[in-house]
Amino acid sequence: MTSAFLAILKRDLALASRAGGGGELALVFFLTIVVLVPFALGPDLNLLSRIGPAILWLGALLSMLIGLDRLFQGDEEDGSLDLIRASVLPLELAVLAKGLAHWLTTGLPLALAAPLLGLLVALPGEAMLPVAATLLVGTPALSFIGAGAAALTAGLRRGGLILPVLVAPLTVPVLIFGVSAANAALGGTIPFATPFLILCALSLAAIVVGTLAAAAALRHSA
């Protein structure tokens, strides 16, 4: 069972590292959004540094959604999803492996790149690490909420736009606590730990709920 889990994980990581994998594209998209925001707001560095965590979080959220609709679609098309369904590995664990692979190739690079992009929005030095940390613990929630929605739309040919529509309202809590934890690190009345721990709790809950929902959706769509 462990070997099947690792096999799926390895396969998805290998697929993502090949050309056309979602990972680096999401990173480029992240960069593009962070670059676009100052053009809309103006080059006022004070303003940018004040809303910097929000820009980074919003950019990361949108970048996570890019390509998420392909999470199960490719497997549905080439039939490997049927093999996964038929294998001894519980579907929940298979979903967990795929979600983990998605996070490793998308969420993790985004979180690591966030301090660099923070330079563009004049993020103060002491906020770099907290922003990266909030993204690090917050993006798994996005991966797994997204995995649930991706499983619902796995059979769709033209499911590209429906997925963000489904996912966005559900990510409101993650966004709120991610940004407020990052802002708390910049100074403010609340300690960093309070929203940060709630963010961790949200991520853990999302991993459980998202995995169960995605597995249920895949089972029912068979």
- Reading the block at residue 76, the tokens are 């549905």
Q: Which is nearer to other proteins, 52 or 195 (CB)?
A: 195
Distance in Å, CB of 198 to other proteins, minimum = 8
> What angle, rounded to 10 degrees, do the helices at 91-102 and 125-152 form?
140
Question: Given the complex with other proteins, which of 38 and 155 has the nearer CB atom?
Answer: 155
Q: Which is nearer to other proteins, 15 or 209 (CB)?
A: 209
Close Cβ partners of 1 (under 8 Å, ≥ 6 residues apart): 88, 89, 93
Q: Which residue lies nearer to other proteins by CB, 33 or 218?
A: 218
Contacts of 34 (CB under 8 A, 6+ apart): 55, 56, 59, 117, 120, 121
Query: Which residues sit at the interface with other proteins, rule CB under 8 A?
Result: 148-149, 152-153, 155-156, 158-159, 162, 165-166, 168-170, 172-173, 176-177, 180, 190, 195, 198, 202, 205, 209, 213, 216-217, 220-221
**Minimum distance from residue 199 beta carbon to other proteins (Å):** 10
* Minimum CB distance to other proteins, residue 58 (Å): 14
Give the nearest distance from C-beta 142 to other proteins in angstroms.
Answer: 13
User: Between residues 9 and 212, which has the closer beta carbon with respect to other proteins?
Assistant: 212
Residue type, 15: L
Least Å from the CB of residue 216 to other proteins: 5
* Buried-exposed string 116-152: b where 16+ CB fall within 10 A, e elsewhere: ebbebbbbeeebbebbbbbbbbbbbbbbbbbbbbbbb
* Shortest distance (Å) from residue 8 CB to other proteins: 22
Report the residue number, 4 or 166, with the smaller CB distance to other proteins.
166
Residue 132 tokens read as: 């990266």
Identity at 222, one-letter amino acid code: A
Query: What is the C-alpha to C-alpha distance for residues 38 and 61, in angstroms, rounded to an integer?
Result: 18
